[in-house]
Amino acid sequence: MRWPAAMAISLLFSVPASADCHSDGVAAIERGATSGPFRFQNQIKIPTVGSKRITGVVVPPDRAHTIMDDGHEFIQIGRRQWMKTPTDGKWHVLLHSALPARLGARGLDRIGSVRCLGEVIDDGRAYLAYEYDEGSGGSPKIPTSSWKVMTDRATGVPLKFLSRTGDLEEVETRVYEAGLDVDPPVGVGPVSPKR
């Protein structure tokens, strides 16, 4: 009789802990969109293609300047988007009719299960870390990748995201800086929108 009672009590206390961990992990990711502007660097390793590097500035909720290592640049301000290609070096207006994404918080609507990893040491620095599954197409039900988010122990803001899914490896690092902004490109005249 004692064993079933102990099991029931154990299960009773383990369910809220799991739910709290999910809430804590989602809140940590969401702080990326509420903790101010940041610079980012994203390193992607694809075995068949090699290594790709993306850098830029994000000013949540809807401003970003992204620079690809192949010379392409993108600026997004609300629903407006521009692209500069290395071939002509000019900014072009892009059509964008959908609502802008909420920048800074990666795929909140696609987060599935979350596991609390506690304190993790990476490159000599201590973080609080969470591991989570991310789905595609706006659904967390079918996980397509697994991510680890490493947050600052004092502030809880996400500083590093890591993913290893199959042969694909992605690492994003962030540095939050007050006063960063993203302005529209200079010298963009009445250019025909690119599709």
Residue spans per domain, the chain: 19-35+106-180
Q: What is the pLDDT of residues 106-117, one digit of tens each?
A: 777 888 889 999
Q: What is the pLDDT of residue 156?
A: 94
Q: What is the pLDDT of residues 10-54, one digit of tens each?
A: 333 333 334 468 899 999 999 988 899 999 999 999 888 889 999
| 75 vs 178: CA distance, rounded Å | 19
21 phi, psi to nearest 5 deg: -65, -40
Provide the percentage of residues in the chain whose pLDDT is more than 90: 52
How many CB atoms neighbour CB 8 within 10 A? 10
In angstroms, how far is CA 72 from the centroid of its own chain?
A: 20
Tell me if the pTM is above 0.85: no
Quick one: which of 79, 77, 92 has its CA closest to 187? 92
Type of residue found at 11: L
Query: Measured between alpha carbons, how far apart are the two ends of the chain, in Å?
Result: 69
Q: What is the pLDDT of residues 122-154, one digit of tens each?
A: 989 999 999 998 887 655 566 778 899 999 999
In 3-state terms, what secondary structure has residue 115?
strand
**What sign results for the dihedral spanned by CA atoms 35, 36, 39, 43?**
positive
Whether residue 127 contacts residue 118, with contact meaning beta carbons closer than 8 Å, is answered with: no
CA distances for 81 relative to 75, 170, 190, angstroms? 6, 25, 14
Question: Quick one: 179 exposed, middle or buried, by C-beta within 10 A (0-12, 13-18, 19+)?
Answer: exposed
